[in-house]
Amino acid sequence: MTSVRTATSPTILHTIDTTGPGGAETVFLDIAQHLYVPGYQTLALIKGKGWVRDQLEARNIPYQILKPHGFLSLPYYWQVFRLIKKHNVRLAYAHLLGSALTFSLLGLLIRLPAIGVLHGQVDVNPNERFVPIKRWLMKHGLRKVVAVSQRLASSMINRGVFTEQQVAVIHNGIDTSRYHSTKTGALKATLNLPEAALLVGSLGNIRPAKDYANLLNAAAIVLDQQPQAHFVIAGHQKEPLMSALNQQAETLGIADHIHFIGFIDSTADFLAELDVFALSSSSEGFSIATIEAMASGIPVVATRCGGPEEIIRDKQDGTMMPTGRPEALAEAILGALQTSPRMFAQLSSARSRVEKTFSLKVMLKQYKQLGFPYCRQDAEQMKYSQDAVQANGDIAKKEVQ
């Protein structure tokens, strides 16, 4: 574990209740690594081993592991409380539902300022157990709630989960310097594909919300008109959905043109090899993969599934179509595969939009501004405390004289 020393200076804690990989986990890591407030140390709290732990190690971010024991587990809360006291934690950024609930309760009990970061509708699922209790805790225990899209924020406010004053919208951001459009041919070589192959790629873990069944149905339509196309899907694979998708490709007769390659370490290198990026999701809280593709300088087609509507200006930065409509998705992919002046204009617009709106720099500035009032209050309290000590010392000196 990356070494962690007992803090004398105040600490900002970053916590998440999953082990990754995924979009929320990447944002958590980027904020923990790059959000710097003068005079404050950084500490991450995670629940166990896995991709997130490995990334914390690789990025040299101090962390500790505490495994939750279920909702409202007193032993777990006691462990977290001891960690807060030991490391002088003054502010917490809590990602996803589990961590937000933990620090909602601690925010009520010990008045620790906590900011909850919610990444999708799953974080406010009305079918969750103990929904009234959980909503009450978050509404009263969190100082602020970050929604990664305006759609998510509006949904939470309209359903009464939070008040409008509690919610701030901060879109996810990426380090744009990592992304490039230089093709090496490495992906085609790995898949043993001809140089003339056209690569349509998707990026995201294999789960229902990604609706890869929709993409496969669209692929069958595309291949009727463009037999050189190959569809490459990168992301962590999970059963039984993975087997169902493989069976669907076989039934459609397109298995030789569908390539599930599993989790990849470098999304930038993967995206650079593509001719088109396609997002087929039925629901997205935001979609980091979409802004990564835009930054990579490749044509983007995406469904209107939530987050992408706030990212892509249709026909200006990319092409959008309804969810669950494979024929519309296929038409957009075929259009994107055609080189045209209009397409070049879209690529330039997309890259510029990511730089101005969805960069890591912009995201970090907004998170820092959101947390700064609590850090400033903390600094003022420390100053008052120091002034009081100095004043008492001066009085003592006079009494001695």
First-to-last C-alpha distance (Å) of the chain: 53
Q: Which helix (H) or strand (E) holds 33?
A: helix 23-34
For range 94-117, the mean pLDDT: 94
For residue range 276-329, list pLDDT tens digits in order.
999 999 999 899 999 999 999 999 999 999 889 999 999 999 999 999 999 999
pTM (two decimals): 0.85
For residue range 69-93, list pLDDT tens digits in order.
766 778 899 999 999 999 999 999 9
Mean pLDDT of the chain: 89
CB atoms within 10 A of CB 111: 10
For range 217-231, the mean pLDDT: 98
The predicted pLDDT at position 392 comes to: 38
Longest dimension (CA), the chain: 97
SS3 162: coil
The answer to whether residue 398 scores a pLDDT higher than 80 is: no
The predicted pLDDT at position 345 comes to: 79
Which domains does the chain carry?
11-173+359-387 (3.40.50.2000), 176-354 (3.40.50.2000)
Written as one letter, the residue type at 338 is Q
In what order do the strands lie in the sheet containing 319-321? 258-262, 229-234, 198-203, 276-279, 300-303, 319-321
The predicted pLDDT at position 125 comes to: 64
